Structures are given as structure tokens and as C-alpha cells.
Amino acid sequence: MISLDDAVVARLETHGLKFEILVDPELADKMRHGDESIAIEDVVAALYVYENASHGDKSPEEDLQKAFKTIDFEQNARHIILKGEIHLTTEQRRHLMEEKRRRVISFIARNAVNPQTGLPHPVTRLEIALEEVRVNFDPFKSVDELVKETVKALRPILPIRFEERRIAAKFPMDYAARAYSAVSGAAYVTMEKNEWQSDGSWICVVKIPAGMQEEFFSLANHAAKGDAQLKILE
């Protein structure tokens, strides 16, 4: 658990009621962007849902039942994190924005090249170019979203091209719907082919940045519990 001193409030207002939990802002951010490996006990500072966390006033069970149809803390905490707002201190927001900025620069340096030379852009060059353009590294946006915004801002002053991979994938019927949701929802994926088969399975051909190949394989296999058929196309 995170300490109370380092936690921030995650708040959700629904059904005319207010619910708050105390969370680690970085882990909560990762959970909001699909990291299912994080245990709720690691994210929160206390195993309670509050109607006013600063006063220590816990939410009555009847309010939890009304809003969430359950009093189970883990289910309710995840719902609040995913659907609510996370309130950061100025320092926490600055830290998360800088962390997102660092990850975006690292991603572009690994996956993009200068089409005039065929060589990657050094990190230093990207940092200098970013000083000339205006990009808001929203701490609650995913790295995928921020990469798209950053590249769009940089292209007028810095030629950028991403090396790409085309991948064919097939998912069996039992995992097809889940895989479709995961693959089509990934911001870095461009869908070239998308077909449902008579046996209920789903096949697709996607185009992704070359540097995201490992992440895509992980996403596909997680969605299909290791039963995805994947092939890199020429």
C-alpha cells in the first residue's frame, strides 16, 4: 500500500452521491490505461470508500449498493479509478507530465527515423525540437495518444517516419470478442483487415510501429490467454 502522505484522491460522482478513495497516482494511471497486473492493494492507501476522504467519512453500505450494486471494495475501487477523476498536487502533476514526456521521446527515438537519412533521431535532437513546439503532456493520456500528438506537432519542423510491421492474427471463438476489443482499442494499431469467420473466430491484419511488436504480441496473447496465432507479414 502507498502511504497516506503520498496518496491522492480519486473521486467519482454518480447517482447523486460522491465516492472517494486514496490512491497512488502513478499506479492508478497505469490501471486506467489497461494494466491488469496491478493489485488493488498496491494502488490504494486504505481499504475504504469514503464520501469525504479528507474527513475520514466512509460511504454507507446502502450508498455503495445503490451506486455500484455491490459493497465489494475491490470492484468499487476499480470502478472509481477507471471512471472517476484523480486529483493531483502540483508537484505530482509535474512529475507525471515529465515522466510521460520522457516516455514519448524514448518511444519516438526507438521507432521513428529521419526519412531523408534513414537514421533515427537522437534523443537530444527530439528534446530541442520539442522546445520549439507546444505539446501538452497530459498526465492522464496514454503514451500512444501523446505520441500521435507529439509527432503531429513535430512534423512541420522535423521530418519523421515510423518503421512499421504488418501482422496477421487469428483468435479462436472463445476469445474473439475480447481480442477484437483489445486490438481495435489500441491507439498504435491500424486495422487493414478485419473478418469474423463462420466458426466464430476472428482474423485481422494490422499495421503497427516496429517498436510496438513485442507489446502487440503481449496484448494479443493476453486477450487470447496464449492461444493467438500471430504471423509477421513481409
* Residues forming a β-bridge with 100: none
Q: Is 61 exposed, middle or buried (0-12, 13-18, 19+ CB in 10 A)?
A: exposed
pTM of the model: 0.56
Please report the pLDDT score of residue 37 as a whole number: 83
Please report the pLDDT score of residue 188 as a whole number: 82
* Three-state DSSP state, 140: coil
Kindly list the distances between the CA atom of residue 129 and the CA atoms of 62, 117, 132, 141, 145, in Å, as whole numbers in the listed order.
Answer: 54, 18, 5, 21, 19
Among 20, 23, 93, 95, smallest CA distance to 63 is for: 20
What single DSSP character describes residue 165?
E
Please report the pLDDT score of residue 211 as a whole number: 67
Cβ neighbors of 135 (< 8 A, separation 6 or more) are: 146, 149, 150, 153
What single DSSP character describes residue 44?
B
Q: What domains, with CATH codes, occur in the chain? A: 7-87 (3.30.1250.10), 90-161 (1.10.10.900), 163-233 (3.30.70.240)
Torsion angles phi and psi, residue 181, rounded to 5: -65, -45
Grid cell 494502488 — which residue? Answer: 43
Q: What is the pLDDT along the chain (234 residues), one digit of tens a residue?
A: 888 888 889 999 999 999 999 999 889 988 888 777 889 999 999 999 999 998 999 999 999 999 999 999 999 999 999 999 988 888 888 888 999 999 999 989 888 888 888 788 889 999 999 999 988 898 888 888 899 899 999 999 999 988 888 999 999 999 999 999 999 988 789 999 999 999 999 999 999 887 678 889 999 999 999 999 999 997
Please report the pLDDT score of residue 32 as a whole number: 86
Please report the pLDDT score of residue 11 as a whole number: 95
